[in-house]
Amino acid sequence: MNTLDAIKTRRSIRKYTNELVSKEMIHALLEAGFCAPSARNRRPWHFVVIQDREKLNKLAEFGKYYKMLASAPMAILVCGDSELLERDYLINDCSAAVENILLAAHELGLGAVWLGVKIDEMKEFYQTEFKLPSPILPIACISIGHPDEEREVDNRYEEEKVHYETFII
């Protein structure tokens, strides 16, 4: 699969089989995350691999957007070190790492979905549950597994949202 095909065909997958994700695949996902671009090459990210069923179930109770974690064999919590970069750049950099992980999962035949983290509301829970030191902020959580659903691939290009030189409607 080439890069553009991966970008165009990747979809959020929320249903998974019971098959575990291999250590080799997990390593490949993490390696992809570490290859993301970052402001001033600070690479502020930290990745918490979550495979413990109790922890995944606890995360699944966070709200309707986290429910798929109850059946996911794993998740990756993407965090950023706030001592390395100010918050806005930290979020940008960690988001680039998330997208790399999502594309790598797709390439490996895995399904994944990006779960947003409301930092101010959820920080204390994540810091307590996963023993994050205070400068380490939770940025995103990625639910990952072998897909048990297929999502339709559609053309998402919207010409009316493309503007050259200035924003004109």
Checking DSSP bridges between strand 45-50 and strand 74-81, what pairing results, if any?
Answer: antiparallel
| Alpha-helical regions (H) of 45-148 | 53-60, 87-107, 119-129
pLDDT of residue 117: 95
Prediction pTM value:
0.95
The string of pLDDT tens digits covering residues 74-112 is 999 999 999 998 889 999 999 999 999 999 999 999 999
In this structure, which CATH number among 3.90.700.10, 3.40.50.2000, 3.40.109.10, 3.40.309.10 belongs to the domain 13-150? 3.40.109.10
81: left (phi over 0), alpha (psi -120 to 50) or beta: beta
Is 169 a residue whose pLDDT tops 80? no
The string of pLDDT tens digits covering residues 125-153 is 999 999 999 999 999 999 999 999 988 88
Q: Helix 23-34 crosses helix 87-107 at what angle (to 10 degrees)?
A: 140
Alpha-carbon separation of residue 148 from 15, 68, 69, 114, 151 (angstroms): 5, 12, 14, 17, 10
